[in-house]
Amino acid sequence: MTVDKEHRSAGMTGRCAEIVDADGRMRAAWKPLMEALAKMTPAEYARRNDTAQTALRNNGVTYNVYDRREGQSRRWRLDILPFVVDPPEWALIEAAAIQRARLADALLSDIYGPQQLINDGVLPPHIIFGHPQFLRPLVGLKPPGGVRVHLYSVDVARTTDGSWVVLSSRADAVSGIGYALENRIVVGQVFPDLFGEMRVRRLASFFNAYREAVRSLADGACGRAVLLTPGPHNEAYFEHAFLAHYLDLTLVEGDDLAVRDDKVFLKTLSGFEPVSVIFRRIDSDFCDPLELRADSALGVPGLTEAVRAGNVVLANALGGGVIESPALDAYLHAASRALLGEDLLIPDIPTVWCGTEWGRKEALDRLDRVIVRGAFDARPIFSSRSTAKLGGELSAEEILALKDRLARRGATIVTQDIVGLGEAPIYRDGEIASKPVSLRVFVAWTKDGYRVMPGALARVADNDTIRSLSLQSGALSKDVWVPSVGPVDRFSLLRPPGAAVPIQRTGESPPSRAMDNLFWLGRYGERADTLARVLRTVVRRLGDGAGEGADRKLLEFFSELLRNLPMGNPSRSGEDLGAALRALIAVRGTPDGLPQLLMRIRQTAWSARDRLSLDTWQTIHLMTEAEMLPSPGRPFDSAEALSSLDRLVRRSAAFAGYCAENMTRGPNWLFTDMGRRIERALHLTWLVGRIAGPSALAEPERIRIALDVSGSAMTYRSRYFDALQLKPLLDLLLFDESNPRSLAFQLDAVEKMLAELSHLTPDGKGAPAADLAAATRRLAAPADFFEDDVPVAPLLTQYLERIDVGICGVSDALTDAYFRHAVRRRTGGDAREV
């Protein structure tokens, strides 16, 4: 790979001032990296890149985009070539970022306090009071320790003249820091020798200082520290789960928390547990539907009052969104002088607020040289929902509309100068190229003042324009390396080798919602496994023709089977059997078909991501990937379908195996396995009912189908050879406690797990579910529905129906006991805790 003279012809000079200085000489910090690349063949670089991309894929690293069809499954994009910042340049960025964080904290204290900047005319009232994120209930509210901004980010970029400029900042629900950490882990593993040789500064001590500083504000209060996420549909959910694990926090959603007597509690299996610190990743206005935003389903009712009472620390404090608007950028320099007595070390993009006559005139006079955007639009510029438009690209009609809006509502518009950005090197198609880049720098509050993370999240445009610099617009990310000028800090959040640790076999009581998700993960996993086995049995017997030349009675039996599946009724009456198979196996819109079930497994697993081991998550990822099933656009091919179904059954078994072998026998395993056992029991009652019920198909053929679907053919043949009779089949599938796929085995397992769960939760909490499980096991014995070795169909049907009702009752009792904490009110009755 050539990166010296040749790299300059590939666009590495000019705007790429990151590698070369104004005289065209390579910057010292970049030399080790570029020399290493020069010695590396394209094949070696490609191998390292493949290793990184595989790690990201296996770790489930995603950045979701709301309005894209592939949104929730979109993979994180990482260019493994790190971005290097010279220590002297980093010193300027570091000082400027700390200054900005101090200013943000001082601004919020003034806005929600004395509002002196407005009274003195430094800030126009409209850019504060007119901002949708100015939350009036917070005026006068003082957070614990007086700190409002615990984590802050600022996006900076080098311009084409070599100077630095601030593009935007975040002081509310800061995002990106977890992705920066993931990038560091992956790139550090890809270039381990180079990482050590360049003496790159490490990140662990920064994260530790951030965590401990926030926890210290709780002033010794006893309670959990949690990370509050909007949930798995949020674009940065991976980051939330990753940070919660890295910082040893409990990952929670709004429904996991409750406010009682102005205190915040976490709903756990053991009941309510106090919460003293909340690391917040939900926008302020969504945090409390009682006082802030009534339509929010993400927040915690009463949270604002708990903060007002001083009973919980929120990091960041509520209300930070008001200072993230572009309109404020026009006045930040003046605000810095008023509050800090300092000029800004790095300026903002030149911004004009159009709420004045001069601002409106300036916007029209310079329209071809500016970007026009909403005054309160804090979205990344040119992201999918950004209001930003290039003034020079407006049509005559759009210019007239802009003039009208300026005249009527000029205060809602700003213009910002178009700034040419410096470029970062990327490796593409065997060559070094360069694209526009910006750095997101993170600052955390500590007891010793604000501290900057010695690295950043670099965003590189996917083309040559600033339009694609947003992650939502497809930008690449990079790790940012800052070489150390002194000894490298070796601090790690991992426990030092040889350090004594107390022995413990249980952890904190888990959130009820997390256990609910694991319970349904087990149920959905078993549901998909059963459907795959049923479909595999049908496809094996019918082949490509899906019935051409097949026995009519067999066709009718399979058609009836697919019309009455236990997970729903996806096959419509009268539908061609081949069409039904194709719909259930490949068509993603089929209710309760395999694509829908696999999507539910993935979504449920994603919601419980912090509870699953890496191996388990990777197995679920492989089990639910889009390539698992045939393409819905191709004609039905039985060989392809059979191969897909075989692969799915194997991966489903691998998932069950990881749960059985890798999960300690605590709540995570108990609820996952109980969900699986309950679902399997329901499927067995369905299968036996269909096989033993009236049918034109011969009994031996129905027994073969039952053995194939239940995975019990080998056991049956080892005992009874080819004597295919109903009584031994019923004994094997219903009453044989040694058969792990029998009904008795499932009921016995559920009863034992409920007994084990009673040791982990308050006395009597799971008694109703345990009693129902025991009663269900005692419902009948084989002799109850046989007369002279001949089964009596009505008796068997009644038995299966009672079992079915009993199992559903166990599931409902389990939900009432462990997953609900609200007061349920019934008409004509008293309220009760459930």
DSSP string of 220-260, one letter each residue: T---EEEEE---TTSTTHHHHHHHHHHTT-EEE-GGGEEEE
Which is it for strands 786-787 and 832-833: parallel, antiparallel or unpaired? unpaired
Nearest 5°: phi and psi at 65?
A: -125, 120
Which is it for strands 786-787 and 151-158: parallel, antiparallel or unpaired? unpaired
* Annotation: CATH topology of 350-417: Dna Ligase; domain 1 (3.30.1490)
**Cα end-to-end distance, the chain, whole Å:** 66
Of residues 20 and 721, more confidence is placed in 721
How many residues in the chain?
A: 834
Q: For the chain, which residues make up each domain, given as ranges?
A: 350-417, 512-819
Which is it for strands 431-446 and 423-428: parallel, antiparallel or unpaired? antiparallel
What band does 505 get if pLDDT is binned at 50, 70 and 90?
Answer: low
Q: Give the pLDDT score at 825.
A: 36
Q: Give the pLDDT score at 409.
A: 94
Angle at 820 between CA 819 and CA 825, to 5 degrees: 160
The H or E element spanning position 429 is: none
Q: Is the dihedral of CA 512, 518, 523, 527 positive or negative?
A: positive
Strand-pair partners of 157: 165
Distance in angstroms (rounded) separating the CA atoms of residues 789 and 749: 29
One-letter identity of residue 379: R
- pLDDT higher than threshold 70 for residue 91: yes
CB atoms within 10 A of CB 823: 10
Contact 157/437 with Cβ under 8 angstroms?
yes
Contact 345/99 with Cβ under 8 angstroms?
yes
What band does 214 get if pLDDT is binned at 50, 70 and 90?
Answer: very high
- SS3 state at 674: helix
pLDDT digits (tens, 9 = 90+) for 580-606: 888 888 888 888 889 999 999 998 998
Q: Give the pLDDT score at 477.
A: 93
Contact 374/366 with Cβ under 8 angstroms?
no
What band does 567 get if pLDDT is binned at 50, 70 and 90?
Answer: low
Q: Give the pLDDT score at 495.
A: 59
Residue from 276, 274, 275, 301 nearest 287 by CA = 301
- SS3 state at 195: helix
Mean pLDDT value across the chain: 85
Contact 485/87 with Cβ under 8 angstroms?
yes
Contact 133/376 with Cβ under 8 angstroms?
yes
- pLDDT higher than threshold 80 for residue 302: yes
Which is it for strands 313-315 and 250-252: parallel, antiparallel or unpaired? unpaired
CB burial of residue 448 (10 Å; 0-12, 13-18, 19+): exposed
Residue from 280, 320, 317, 299 nearest 144 by CA = 317
- pLDDT higher than threshold 90 for residue 542: no
pLDDT digits (tens, 9 = 90+) for 415-473: 999 988 888 888 776 677 888 899 999 999 999 999 999 999 999 987 665 555 666 66
Distance in angstroms (rounded) separating the CA atoms of residues 411 and 375: 7
DSSP 503: -
CB atoms within 10 A of CB 156: 21
Which is it for strands 823-824 and 151-158: parallel, antiparallel or unpaired? unpaired
Which is it for strands 164-170 and 151-158: parallel, antiparallel or unpaired? antiparallel
Distance in angstroms (rounded) separating the CA atoms of residues 834 and 522: 23
Distance in angstroms (rounded) separating the CA atoms of residues 202 and 194: 14
For residue 192, what are the CA distances in angstroms to 196, 197, 712?
6, 9, 50
Q: Give the pLDDT score at 136.
A: 96
Contact 184/203 with Cβ under 8 angstroms?
yes
pTM for the complete prediction? Answer: 0.83
Angle at 627 between CA 624 and CA 631, to 5 degrees: 120
The H or E element spanning position 832 is: strand 832-833
Residue 146 region by backbone torsions, left for phi larger than 0, else alpha for psi between -120 and 50, else beta: left
Residue from 147, 201, 227 nearest 446 by CA = 147
What band does 181 get if pLDDT is binned at 50, 70 and 90?
Answer: very high
Contact 525/668 with Cβ under 8 angstroms?
no
Distance in angstroms (rounded) separating the CA atoms of residues 568 and 751: 27
Tell me how far the alpha carbon of residue 23 is from its chain's centroid: 46
Of residues 143 and 772, more confidence is placed in 143
Place of tokens 């009779």: 725
Distance in angstroms (rounded) separating the CA atoms of residues 501 and 7: 52
Strand-pair partners of 273: 266
Residue from 461, 463, 378 nearest 416 by CA = 378
Contact 29/84 with Cβ under 8 angstroms?
yes
CB atoms within 10 A of CB 45: 17
Distance in angstroms (rounded) separating the CA atoms of residues 50 and 191: 13
For residue 600, what are the CA distances in angstroms to 376, 525, 664?
37, 9, 25
CB burial of residue 193 (10 Å; 0-12, 13-18, 19+): exposed
What band does 338 get if pLDDT is binned at 50, 70 and 90?
Answer: very high
- SS3 state at 77: coil
Q: Give the pLDDT score at 152.
A: 98
Residue from 228, 240, 280 nearest 62 by CA = 240
Which runs of E-coded beta strand occur in 646-803?
A: 786-787, 790-791
Distance in angstroms (rounded) separating the CA atoms of residues 744 and 734: 6
Place of tokens 């389903």: 297
Tell me how far the alpha carbon of residue 256 is from its chain's centroid: 16
Task: Choose the weakest-confidence range: 26-30, 165-169, 248-252.
Answer: 26-30
Q: Looking at residues 670-684, what average pLDDT do you find?
A: 94
- SS3 state at 438: strand
Nearest 5°: phi and psi at 627?
A: -75, -5
DSSP letter for each residue of 309-378:
TT--EEESPTTGGGG-SHHHHTTHHHHHHHHTS---SSPBPPEEETTSHHHHHHHHHTGGGEEEEETT--
DSSP 202: P
- pLDDT higher than threshold 50 for residue 407: yes
Tokens of 478: 């990079």
One-letter identity of residue 829: G
Place of tokens 């006991």: 817
Distance in angstroms (rounded) separating the CA atoms of residues 86 and 19: 10
Residue from 725, 726, 743 nearest 781 by CA = 743
What band does 568 get if pLDDT is binned at 50, 70 and 90?
Answer: low
Distance in angstroms (rounded) separating the CA atoms of residues 458 and 439: 4
CB burial of residue 552 (10 Å; 0-12, 13-18, 19+): exposed
Place of tokens 């009527």: 408
For residue 183, say if its preceding peptide bond is cis, omega within 30 degrees of 0. no
Place of tokens 């094949």: 43
Q: Looking at residues 751-768, what average pLDDT do you find?
A: 76
Distance in angstroms (rounded) separating the CA atoms of residues 598 and 652: 11
Task: Choose the weakest-confidence range: 390-404, 463-477, 499-513.
Answer: 463-477
- pLDDT higher than threshold 80 for residue 494: no
- pLDDT higher than threshold 70 for residue 295: yes
Q: Looking at residues 681-693, what average pLDDT do you find?
A: 89
CB atoms within 10 A of CB 642: 16
